[in-house]
Amino acid sequence: MAADHIRTSIHLRPPIYRSTKSNIMPSLPSARNSGRVDLKPREINILGIVEIGSYHYKSAQRGIKGVVHPGCLGICHLARGMQTYRVNERLYRLSGGDQLITFPGDTLDTAGTPEEKGHLYWFILRMKFIDGPLLFLEPKAAIGLRKALLALPTRHFSAHSESDELAATILNMLQTKPTRMIDRLASAQIILRYLFQVIEASSSERASQPSPRIQRTLDHIAAQLSDQLPVPALADHIGLSESRFKSRFRDEVGIPPGDYVLRGKINAACEALTQIDTPITQIAHSLGFSSSQYFATVFRRFTGDTPTAYKRKQQNPSA
């Protein structure tokens, strides 16, 4: 309802693109292939947008602490992977395809965990002045959009199915630092479309539980972490082809099945390193790793630490 009301007050024509890929800048380098992009107002050059960014990490990075954007609303959009965030002392566990909203005055951190392997987009919008300039909209429309965003009924929800590609398109367009008004208007139009999808997704109550078949797989993985658990065997376990299984698993869980298995093993390893004084090599073998060297490589990719360093930190947190 909120999104429909804003569409009426803005009098915006439907998007002119039949695809979310830019028709104005077709040769742009893909943001999906970059490590980290962080665009500020001068580079974005669109009224009311404070920051737009993305990271695409192949291994865990240092976590964030106490991030506050005064007078701003933030959108974290996890396209791939899993990530823990804490907003005002409440924990949120995001999976691929989730969005998390921070409202003005909120404090965001990763609750002592790293920024995990994965792909994340973020958008920061200025909310301090409700009637301030926003996306080249008329004042009445800008007020309506800001009010709808500030009134989102939930802060953690599943993103619209098109939002991932829209976010990538927005970032790719803005990386050229558009100066022509037509290019800035085109970028603003796609951002507006993205925000409509955020409002719609937050207001809907789509089920986030996996289907019975995929839930059987998750239960099987949890019970058999000491095994190798190759993807073809997991597909066969629920009677699907490997390609169909991988597609369904990623759609419903948010990450590939191989990554999910490794994350489960590393989570179990972290628990073992915290609670018992078992040799690291023994932990590696008990979780189905072929060698302690491979175990250490995977552990560092997902936690940012070696098993030895992680164990030392758990034993002496103040060090």
Q: How far apart are CA 314 and CA 294, in angstroms?
A: 22
| Confidence (pLDDT) at 178 | 83
Fold annotation for 212-315: Arc Repressor Mutant, subunit A (1.10.10)
Q: Which residues lie below 8 Å from residue 156, measured CB to CB, with a gap of 6+?
A: 92, 94, 98, 99, 100, 101
- 2-203 and 212-315: same fold? no
Residue 235 CA, distance from chain mean position: 26
Give the integer Cα–Cα distance in Å for 64 and 106.
14
Integer Cα distance of 92 and 83 in angstroms: 8
The pLDDT assigned to 245 comes to 93
Q: Give me the residues of the chain with pLDDT under 70, please.
A: 1-34, 205-208, 276, 317-319
pLDDT, tens only, 198-211: 999 998 855 457 78
CB 260 within 8 A of CB 252: no
Provide the pLDDT for residue 31: 42
Residue 206 pLDDT = 53
Domain 2-203 architecture? Sandwich (2.60)
Q: How far is CA 234 from the centre of its chain?
A: 26
Note the pLDDT tens digit of each residue in 41-85: 989 999 999 999 999 998 888 888 989 988 999 999 999 998 999
- Model-wide pTM > 0.95: no
295 vs 307: CA distance, rounded Å: 9
DSSP string, 285-308: HHTT-S-HHHHHHHHHHHHSS-HH
Supply the pLDDT for residue 162. 92
Q: Return the domain boundaries, the chain.
A: 2-203, 212-315
DSSP, collapsed to helix, strand or coil, labels residue 278 as coil
